[in-house]
Structures are given as structure tokens and as C-alpha cells.
Amino acid sequence: MIFTEPMLRMFAIVLGRDAENVTEALLMSGVVQFISSHDFPVESAVSQLQEVVLPAENESRIVEARKRIENFLATVGIVPDIPVGIDTTASSPADLGAINRDLDTIAVDLQKIRDRQRLLQNDILKYEEIRRQIGLYGTDFSAASLSAHYSYVTLQLGSVPSDRVAALQKQLGSIPAVLIPLGEEAKRTHLFTIIMKRDREQFSAALSEYGWEPVQLSNELQGAGSDIRTAIEEKLSGLRNEQQKLQEAGHALIIGKKELLTGEWTALRIDELRLKIRSAFKQTSHTVLFSGWVPASRQKSIAALLNRSTGGRCHIEWFSPDRTSDLHERPAEAPVKLGNPKLLAPFEMLVANFGIPEYGTIDPTPFVVVTYLVMFGLMFADIGQGAVVAAAGIAGSVWFGAGKKALRNLSFLLVWCGASSMLFGMLFGSLFGFAVLKPLWFDFHGIVTGHAVPSAGISSIYDILGITVKFGIAVIGCGLLFNWINLLIKKRLTELIFDKAGILGGWIYAGGIYCAAFMISHEYRSLPEIPVLFLSTVLPALLLFIKAPLHAYSHRKGFTAMMLLDFIMEWFVELLEVFGGYLSNTLSFMRVAGLGIAHVSLMTAFFTIAGMIRGNNPDAASVFLGGLLIVAGNIMVIALEGLSAGIQALRLNYYEFFTKFFHGTGKLYQPVSLKETNH
């Protein structure tokens, strides 16, 4: 778990007749990261091998169909996953033609719904514009308002034969129009109409067809605005209800096809992975050769699996990453498999966001668990607030399905952070900002507010700052140690000694820490004795000068007078980086104490303001308002301080810890597996 998992390169030759069985066996195992046949050197002994001819349903068509299914299912929030324990040998190849026909049918049905939704949306927008116009220009339908040149709506009054009103309304169903019946006279119904000016020609043609006769607006019809507004709102409500029903119909269509779609998706996914494996094969007339990376712990099981699937008709060779094979002229770069338990997946995500460690080097994930949670707890120490953060994380882990891996990991990270906050809240005696519990370590609130009883040797802000500085020294020291181990593994001895994060850099850092501690213990009045000062800082600084000449010598460069000046300048800059860099790195951890102090101070401010609201003689209203302020303060602190603490803990890990040893140039191990993430 501390180092990346050892990997082996597998080269195997099987008979062509066993290729399908081998494909199924390798797919079920899910542990081989295949080396593409294109990576085999042309000059190698197998240059005459041919690519395996893949089926007509090539991978791109399968992927396209799979993604179409995923898009359909995504509209109802379904993320397909291959059932656990599925036997791929019992599954027949997907019928791509039939699947595409099913998808085309669903697409046509959905398109009809979406076309109708689009028309409804256009009508809704038009009616909303009419409503806006009436709101702007009023509902006094006098002759002046009817002819208003600045209005986008046309208002008309007229009559049509009563027996043709229903047919007229049906005919005008495609045009956003408000038709208000005003009464009947001599078998003619009087109508008041509102339409958009841009629809006037189409509207007028329809009116003429149904015997429309315009009527001059009478005084009795003034002030009918409330009826018009009601009619518009009713029309909008009807359109929106129909829009909602169409939305539900679209969802019901996909949900009704869920079993069909997920089954077809599974078949396509299996075929896609089969083709991915077969694309790594090369063949002769009778044999097939393939190569891939396998965790060393799975060597025996994979060998046994291939022997079973071929009846013992296979030849397998294994190579460590630092060895060459007949197919490769130089060692290949092994992929990196991080062997952490699932419980640490959130922290592995944080490491992977920075980069993948080089193969064979230290995986910092287990150490990040400690450093991240300790820093978060020191900055955000509160039992109640931590419980809220943990509860939010638990809710998120339930809400986000397996298809949203990153969000689930982030939710689990919140659970970890909430637990850390609760632990440090107990150490400091804080519950939702109230210092009501007896601290198990020291009274953080009392120290910040100035009324703490000294305990555990912590009695002032400077003591709290000292805790974070010491923690920072420990973190930086671990980073240097990890760098030395990594350089030893990679046999880069020159860097091990002369790098600023190497032995000499660590020597200077340790000497600087000793000198600083000596000065503090002597109240800043004296330095260590000259021999000690020389051995702790001056000697390693002088030895660091050897780095530049040694580098020039190793590259067979001739020495000149100007080069000596370059060596001195390079040495001087290196010393500035070492001394200044390590000093700033260490002091940077004081921000942990700073945010912890800010957390306490902010809660104290809310309590102070709440006390001012309640006053000396509090009544029910002032008590309620004070309590409401404290609740709001806790919510704000959880949101802002929690986010700030998480970001700062991550920053300190990345820039003060990882930069000492972590290069992030590895390539993640990605085997062809049914568990492979694709969404």
C-alpha cells in the first residue's frame, strides 16, 4: 500500500482456434492492460505478423450505439451498469442492426414529442409577450389604444355567425390569439380578439373565411381588462399543463423501454470490450500473439486461466519492467496501480488529481489521509458542525449513484472531514461554537477569547502557531524522506545527494530548524556555537557547490574561467532557493492555525452580536432573533469555513508536501474490464 503495486509484462502465444476462448477469459479476468500491437517494433522477429481481422460491426459503430442508449437513459437519470457476476461466455454478440432499429423507433417517437413541445413553447412565448404588452400599455381599449403604433399587439372587435364560432376557434388553434365572446345578437356572436401584429395577415384571412364583420368599439365595452388578463392566464396555464404532460410522456416512453435499453447496452458494452481485446492481437496463419501488463500478484491466476481456456495450448513469458524482451529493444514504462483499499478512495482521488506517481515509487495516499484530516480538523474543530458535514457527505453518497464516481468520492471525503472535525471538536471542547464541553486537549476558544486556563502546555496564540509549525516540519521532513527513498529506488544517486530536496537540502533544513529552536529557547539572544553552526548549515551549503561542477564533468564539458563564475552564481541561487524555500514552506503551515483562530473568532462574533440583541432583559422576540442569528452563523461558518479549510488542507499537501518528492509522471493502470468506467 505504501508503494505502487509491482507489474509484469506478459507475452503469450495461443492457437488461432483458441482466440475466442482466450478473449472471453481475459475479459472475465479484467486485469490485463493490453499493449497495442502497433507498439511492436517493425524490425522485431514478429514483423510478419498480421492484424487480427475484426468483425464488420467495428468498435466505432458499437460505441456510437452505446452512447445513443446512454443519452436516452440520461434523460430520466438512469446510468447503466453491467450486472455484477455476468458470464460473458453465455452472452451472444449484439445484433447491431436490430438495436439501431429499436433506437431509431424510440428517437422518432421522442422527436414527435419534442416537436410538439417546441411548438407549445413558441406559443407560450407569444402569449407571454401579449401579456407583457397589456401590462405595458394598459387595457383601455379605446380607439387611440387600438391604433397605438408602439404596441406589438392588435386588438379587434367584430362578429361571426354563432354556428361558426367553434370552427373558427379550432382553425385559430395554431395562432396565439385571445378570443373573448362578448354576447350574441341576431344569431351572430360578438368577439373581442388580441393577436400579435406579426400574425395579423394569417389571422385576418381566417376571419374572412368564417364571415367576420368588424364592429366599432362601444363605450359599454371599456374596462374589460380583467377578463382579458384572465383569458391569457388560462391559455398560458393550459399550454404549460400540456407541456408538462408531454415531458412526462417522454419520460414514460424511456422508462417503459428501460429493460430493453439496459439489456442492449450491456450486450454492446461486452462486444466493445471484446473488440478492444482483439485489437491488441496479432496473428499468423495458425497462431495469435498478444501482450499486456498484469499485476505481479495475479501472475499465477492469469497463467492458469489461459491454460484452462486453451487446454494447455499456450506459451507465456513474463518480464519485469526493467527487462527487455524479444519484441522490445528497451524496457517499457509500466502502468501504475495504486493498491489502496476502497475506504481510501476519496484520498486516492485527491492524489490522482495532482498526478500519478512514477511506477515503483511511494504512493502518498495513506499519508495524505493523516495530513489532510489533521489539518482540516485543526482548522475546523467542532463536534456539531462536523456532524453536519458528515451528514451531508452521507446524504451525497446515497444520492449519487455508482455512475457518478467522482461525486460519490467527494461525498465520502466529506464524511471523513466531518469525522475529523468532530474528533478535534472533542479535543477542543466545541459544540456548534459553544465552549460547553471540557476540552480533552486544550481550550482553543478560551485561548482565542483570552479567558482560558493553561493546559497541556498550550496557553497562548503563539503556542497554537507553534503546533502547526511543528506539524509542518514533520510533513516536510516526510516529503524529504520519501524523495530519498524514491531516488534510491530509481538509482539516481547524484540527485539523492545534491538535489535541494536531497540529503544536502535536508541537512540544511535540519540545521536551520536546530538553529531556530536554539534561538527561541535562548529568547533570541544567541546563536549556537561556531562549530555547531558550521556543521549544521555552513558545511552542507559549501558541499552544495560541488553540484554544478559535477554536472559539467558528467557531461564532459571543459572548464573555463567563465564557467567558475557560472558555478558560483548557480550555487548562490540554489542556496537562496533552499533557505528561502524551506522557510516559506514551513511558515506556510501557520495558515492552519490562522484559519482555526478565524473559525473561533467568527463564531465568537456571532455570539457577541446575539448577546447584544438579547440585551440585559431579554424578551421572547429578542431571544428568538438571537437564536436565529446563531443558527445562521453556524450555517455560514459550515459553508465558508468548511470550504476554506478543505481547500487550504489540499493546497498544503500539494505545494508543501508533494513538491518535495512527487513527480506525477506515471500512467494509470487501466485494464480491459467489465468494471471499467465509461461515463
What string of DSSP letters covers 352-389? HHH-BPPTTSB--HHHHHHHHHHHHHHHS--HHHHHHH
Asked which of 19-28, 256-265, 276-285 is least confident by mean pLDDT, the reply is: 276-285
CB 389 within 8 Å of CB 642: yes
Q: What is the mean pLDDT of residues 589-610?
A: 93
User: Confidence band (pLDDT; 50, 70, 90) for 132?
Assistant: low
The set of cell numbers assigned to 651 is 493546497
Q: What pLDDT band is residue 38 in, cutting at 50, 70 and 90?
A: low
Q: What per-residue confidence (pLDDT) applies to 605?
A: 93
List the CATH code of the domain at 140-223.
3.30.70.2750
* C-alpha dihedral (619, 621, 624, 627), degrees to nearest 10: -70
At residue 26, the pLDDT reads 93
- For 440, residues 6+ apart whose C-beta sits below 8 A from its C-beta are 426, 427, 429
Q: Which residues contact 481 (CB under 8 A, 6 or more apart)?
A: none
Residue 218 has pLDDT above 60, yes or no: no
Contact present, 667 and 489 (Cβ < 8 Å): no
Calculate what percentage of the chain has a pLDDT beyond 70.
87
Cβ atoms of 437 and 426 within 8 Å: the answer is yes
Reported as a pLDDT band with limits 50, 70 and 90, residue 202 is confident
pLDDT at 105: 94
Q: E strands of 132-234, at which residues? A: 153-161, 177-185, 188-196, 213-214
Predicted TM-score (pTM) of the model is: 0.79
Higher pLDDT among residues 83 and 100, named by residue: 100
Residue 365 C-alpha cell reads as 495516499
d(CA 497, CA 178): 87
Q: How far apart are CA 478 and CA 589, in angstroms?
A: 15
Alpha helices in 218-298 (DSSP H): 225-256, 258-278
Q: Per-residue pLDDT for 479 more than 80? A: yes
Q: pLDDT value at position 195?
A: 79
Give the whole-angstrom CA distance, residue 541 versus residue 47: 55
Say how many C-beta atoms besides its own lie within 10 A of residue 220's C-beta.
8
Identify the weakest region by mean pLDDT among 5-14, 42-51, 198-207, 250-259: 42-51
Q: What is the mean pLDDT of residues 419-423?
A: 97
Rounded to whole angstroms, how far apart are CA atoms 625 and 623? 6
Q: What is the pLDDT of residue 325?
A: 54
What type of residue sits at position 398? V
Which of 168 and 646 is assigned the larger pLDDT?
646
pLDDT grade for 220, boundaries at 50, 70 and 90: very low
Q: For residue 501, which of 465, 547, 468 has the smallest C-alpha distance?
A: 547
What element of type H or E holds 282? strand 282-283
For residue 243, the one-letter residue type is Q
Question: Quick one: pLDDT at residue 22?
Answer: 93
- Report, as an integer, the average pLDDT of 208-226: 62
- Strand-pair category, 188-196 with 177-185: antiparallel
Percentage of residues of the chain with pLDDT beyond 90: 48
Q: 614 falls in which pLDDT band (50, 70, 90)?
A: confident
Buried/exposed code over 463-498 (b: 16+ C-beta within 10 A; e: otherwise): ebbbbbbebbbebbebbbebbbbbbeeeeeeebbbb
Element (DSSP H or E) covering residue 14? strand 7-15
Residue 153 pLDDT greater than 80, yes or no = no
What is the model's pLDDT at position 400? 82
**Cβ 86 vs Cβ 674: under 8 Å:** yes
- pLDDT for residue 554: 74
Query: How sure is the predictor about 678, in pLDDT bands with cuts at 50, 70 and 90?
Result: low
* Top-confidence residue, 548 or 555: 548
Which amino acid is it at 277? Answer: I
Give the pLDDT of residue 227: 65
Q: Per mean pLDDT, which range of 75-89, 132-146, 201-215, 269-283 is the poorest?
A: 132-146
Place of cell 506478459: 10
If you write DSSP's letter for every residue of 84-109 in order, what string do you get?
TT--GGGPPPP-HHHHHHHHHHHHHH
pLDDT at 101 over 80: yes
pLDDT in tens, 106-127: 999 999 999 999 988 888 887 7
HSE, side-chain direction, 13 A CA sphere, residue 424? 22
Is pLDDT of 508 > 90?
Answer: yes
d(CA 440, CA 100): 66
Instruction: Give the Cα separation of 573 and 488 in Å (integer).
Output: 26
Q: How far apart are CA 388 and CA 417, in angstroms?
A: 11
**More confident call, 137 vs 356:** 356
pLDDT of residue 641: 92
- Find how far residue 279's CA is from the centre of its chain: 31
**Helices 59-74 and 96-137: angle between axes, nearest 10 degrees:** 40
- Cα dihedral sign, 618-623-627-628: negative
Q: For cell 529493444, what's the residue?
A: 329
Ranges in the chain annotated CATH 3.30.70.2750:
140-223
Cell readout for 515 is 538553529
Residue 77 confidence (pLDDT): 83
The CA distance from 443 to 460, in Å, is: 10
Reading phi first (left if > 0) and then psi (alpha if -120 to 50, else beta), residue 499 is in beta
pLDDT band, residue 487 (cuts 50/70/90):
very high
More confident residue, 74 or 650: 650
- Name which of 673, 677, 679 is nearest 67 in CA terms: 679
pLDDT at residue 142, rounded to an integer: 42
| Residue 190 pLDDT > 90 | no
Instruction: Write down the pLDDT at residue 229.
Output: 73
Cα 315 from Cα 303, distance rounded (Å): 9
